[in-house]
Amino acid sequence: MPLTLRLALRDWDYMTPLVLGDVRSPRLDIKVDRVGTLISNIALDPSYDAAEMSFSRYAQLRHDGDDSVVGLPNFIMRGFRHRCIITTKKSAIRKLSDLGGKKIGVTGWRDSGNTWTRAAIRREGVGIEDALWYAGRLTEAHPITDRLDGFGRPGRIELQAGRCGARHLGQRSENRATQTRTGTTWHRRDLRRRSAPVVG
């Protein structure tokens, strides 16, 4: 009898064979729930056994002594974050150093992709103190959640007005497993305890 594995994944093209059932195993019954935004914390959600998660959020959990989530290295989206920095055609911004003194929007402060983006911008001379940062939903379909995770600073790093939940900027969130750009897969620690090992 195959082991049922319940996954929460976003609609990435490289997941299509798994979602359509083209990739199968006689030892696994894979149930994929296609989600627009990832669940808040795989360790706290009994609906899923595994999910996609940001590497930077996983690293923060481990740093905080939380070992309720086990990381399975599965870095499918190996790409430079520079391609994710977008301006309008009319903008005079042509290089990362032009972002000094500008307003920069991100989908979440702690997200891996945004962490790498800030590092790329900082390398070109624009640090956190050199711009105004705003975090908000990418689209109206994304849930209203705390996208600053306690890193907000009035006048420097703020929630995008009218687009995010009403949490206090300095309040630390216990909800650290949302959003991803790295394609890393994570599973709940108790799944390992309640199921037999799965070997190819």
Tell me what pLDDT residue 9 has: 86
Rounded distance between C-alpha atoms, residue 106 and residue 126, angstroms: 15
Q: Is 3-77+182-194's fold the same as 81-159's?
A: yes
DSSP character at residue 59: H
The mean pLDDT value of the chain amounts to 75
**Where do the structural domains in the chain lie, given as residue ranges?**
3-77+182-194, 81-159
CATH class of the domain at 3-77+182-194: alpha beta
* Over residues 160-187, mean pLDDT: 36
- Range 81-159: architecture per CATH: 3-Layer(aba) Sandwich (3.40)
pLDDT band at 91 (very low <50, low <70, confident <90, very high): very high
Residue 180 has pLDDT above 70, yes or no: no
